[in-house]
A and B are shown apart, each in its own frame.
Chain A
Amino acid sequence: MSNSKLYKGSLSIIILKLLTETHKMYGYEITQKVKELTQGELNITEGALYPALHKLEADGFLEVEMQRVDNRLRKYYKLTQAGNKEEVSRIEELERFIETIQGIVNPKPSLG
């Protein structure tokens, strides 16, 4: 993953967001999707991705489904009902955060 702590703090939001758009995904697929969406800017490592996925699963936001694909077992992650609610709440929180930071970094010129 990119060294930025900003990205690291947003990993669970990224996972939740991707899973709302795609019904189910497996670990490697998530890394590739993020790479594609960010044109290679964000490269999620295994060391960051799987603990985040397992934490979301332990918190009850994700459920798993296993399938045999290409000679091996594949673990798919899906959002639970609680995960759907969490995604909405975290995205709203992120948008408020971006807006606040935007106000500091790029303040609107005052009319007075």
Chain B
Amino acid sequence: MKQQLTQEEIQFIDNYLKNSGVEYIDTRSEVVDHVASEIENRFIENNTSDFYEEFKMYMIQHKKALLKNIHKYRWALDKRILKQVVKNLFHQKVLAFQTLFLVISITLLNTSLIDQVDFKAIHIVIAGSVVFLSLIYPFFWFRKQKISVINRSAVLCYFINYLVFDLVLKIVDDYIFTYSISLVIITWFNISFAFTQVNYFKFYKDKFLLS
């Protein structure tokens, strides 16, 4: 009696879930394992090896609960990312990059070059790079698969930058002072976001590509 699903059957479950809106590979892999384990258990309990029949029965009973879980997952994920980003603000590598940024900025402020430096452009390049690289680079690296934690961190990074520069700065009077302070803080966050994403990237690269 067959007890384990084949690679093709696992792929079938994966494709089905992907087409049902479970877009992130890390989330989907956990659900695929759950569904596959349940079907294998049903093979034993029902003394059968009809994969498609057991899969169909399982989905009729559980699809709603499975997909509901995915939407609940997003908030838990955002919370996890933000906690990690805040924690990484005080990591020595992040502090070192932030210090470097401050040293360069202060040096420029004390030279005649300051008039030629467009800090807004620098900020857009830094924030844009974090968001762009976190969305595009992993997309190709993981064979066009999306990783939830990396994609969501890019979205959060974009949202925080947008909030500060497009909303907060439009409602304050002391523009130059607020802008300088905001730029220092947001750059610190952006460096931490980049550092956090690199760490997540390494973790998932090991798990999804090399395993």
Q: Is the CB of A51 within 8 A of B73?
A: yes
CA distance in complex: A89, B203 (Å) = 31
Partner of A72, one of B36, B72, B73, B207: B36
Tell me whether A28 and B37 are in contact (CB under 8 A). Answer: yes
Q: How far is the CA of A51 from the CA of B66 in the complex (A)?
A: 10
Output the nearest chain A residue to B67 by Cβ-Cβ distance: A47
Q: A58-B80, A58-B83, A66-B211 given as contacts; is B10 within 8 A of A71 (CB)?
A: yes
Is B38 an interface residue, CB under 8 A from the partner? yes
Interface size class, chain B: 20 to 34
Contact with B along A47-90 (1 / 0, CB 8 A): 10111001101101000001111111111000000000000000
Interface size of A as a range: 20 to 34
Asked whether any CB of chain A lies closer than 8 Å to the CB of B34, the reply is yes
**Chain B facing A: main interface SS:** helix
Please name the residue on chain A nearest to B28 by beta carbon.
A73
- A to B contact number (C-beta, < 8 Å): 79
- Residues of chain B having any CB pair with chain A under 8 Å: 4-7, 10, 29-34, 36-38, 40-41, 62, 64-66, 68-69, 72-73, 76-77, 79-80, 83, 207-208, 211
* B36 / chain A contacts, CB cutoff of 8 Å: 70, 72
Residues B33 and A27 in contact, CB atoms below 8 Å apart? yes
Separation of A78 and B91 alpha carbons in the complex (Å)? 24
- Chain A residues within 8 Å of B, Cβ to Cβ: 26-29, 32, 45-47, 49-51, 54-55, 57-58, 60, 66-75
- Is there an interface contact between A73 and B65, defined as CB atoms closer than 8 Å? no
Instruction: Say whether B80 contacts A50, CB under 8 Å.
Output: no
Residues on the B chain within 8 Å of A46, using CB: 31, 34, 62, 65-66, 69
Q: Is the CB of A60 within 8 A of B83?
A: yes
What is the bound-complex CA distance between A69 and B34, given in angstroms? 12
Question: Considering the chains assembled together, what is the distance between the CA atoms of A54 and B33 in angstroms?
Answer: 16
CB distance from B125 to the nearest CB of A (A): 31
Nearest Cβ on chain B to A72's Cβ, whole angstroms: 5
Task: Provide 16 A-B residue pairs closer than 8 Å at the C-beta atoms, listed in order of the A residue.
Answer: A26-B33, A28-B34, A29-B37, A46-B65, A46-B69, A47-B68, A49-B69, A50-B72, A50-B73, A51-B72, A70-B40, A71-B5, A71-B6, A71-B7, A73-B208, A75-B30
